[in-house]
Amino acid sequence: MKLINYLIIQIIPFLPKIFVRLVASPYIAGITDDEMLKNVNKLNKKGYKVAIDILGEHVTTKEEATQITERYAKLYSKIDLQNLDANLSIKLTHIGQDLGYNFVKKNLMILIDEAKKYNNFLRLDMENSPYTSETINLYKKAFEIYPNVGIVLQAYMHRSIDDLENLASHMFNVRICKGIYIENEDIAYRDYEKIRENYIDLVKKALRKGSYVGIASHDEYLIDKLYLWIKENQIEANQYEFQILHGVPMDKKLQQLINEGNTVRVYVPYGDNWYDYSIRRLKENPKMAGYIIKNIFNKILNR
């Protein structure tokens, strides 16, 4: 079965885009704002909170970065108008980080002002290592103006434990994930179990320091191990949440967590750049690609 899934992944980039979208649709919450907001509403009704991400990164012109910033800014008013339980999660390279520090800082402050206006939250995603220090610096600048802002730390990075030590407080809001970028072994763990160990250490350290932690993982081993530790140490449910990517088939586990009084937030990507994102997600999870395609062909054959 693994071989079949691997072969499917190899041919997907050569298939018509409409087919790729059909296969990858569980991961994407829509192309337009309206499509995405309808999906957010559905998720809220199921008991999930949501983090919204417009797909894209590394814009090359100030015009595009400004347009993306304006689109994000308008989402805060739409979220408020529709009374949705959702916040925003952005990549700084999507709003101009490659175009200069002052330029991206200006765009970030526009979003901070909008988040503050609507009493909402903004998360700065963490990208690959050349951007780490500057992202943390920009987070600190944003925090000075509006403390309801958060950041991401990646468990595969050696530096993350020190970054956490320097940033953690009862006001600190952090999403902890494993990390997806390919990094040099001098600065990042490559061993799967090492990354898991560091992930657990990061979450525990942040919670001990009173920080609010987004436990962002699809690894049920990590979820179960950390949840047991949380219960054993009587960590209050308002100090953490579990986070999951839209489309990952974990409904039973997530519903169990919700039923036991935990917050579960779905990370919802959407937008015009769905194709490249879809190819990447399907390559990361070939089992899902095979499962979806199998269901599609079953439906065709059973008509």
Q: Mind listing the domains of the chain with CATH numbers?
A: 1-28+283-303 (no CATH), 30-270 (3.20.20.220)
State the catalytic residue, choosing from 125, 163, 196, 281. Answer: 125
With a cut of 50, say whether residue 29 has pLDDT above it.
yes
What is d(CA 47, CA 241) in angstroms, rounded to the nearest whole number? 13
More confident residue, 66 or 287: 66
59-63, 131-135, 278-282: least confident range? 278-282
Q: 104-113: long-range contacts (C-beta < 8 A, 24 or more apart)?
A: 104/65, 104/138, 105/138, 105/141, 107/65, 107/66, 107/69, 108/138, 108/141, 108/142, 109/142, 109/145, 110/69, 110/73, 111/69, 111/72, 111/73, 112/142, 112/145, 112/146, 112/149
Please state, rounded to an integer, the average pLDDT across all residues of the chain.
Answer: 90
Q: 54-73, pLDDT tens digit by residue?
A: 999 999 999 999 999 999 99
Structure tokens at 4: 């079949």
By percentage, how much of the chain surpasses pLDDT 90? 77
175 is catalytic: yes
Candidate from 1-15, 172-186, 204-218, 243-257 with smallest mean pLDDT: 1-15
- 125 is a catalytic site residue: yes
Which of residues 275 and 183 earns the better pLDDT score?
Answer: 183
pTM of the entire predicted model: 0.88
Instruction: Work out the pLDDT band at 299, boundaries 50, 70, 90.
Output: very low
Identify the active-site residue in 123, 163, 175, 196.
175
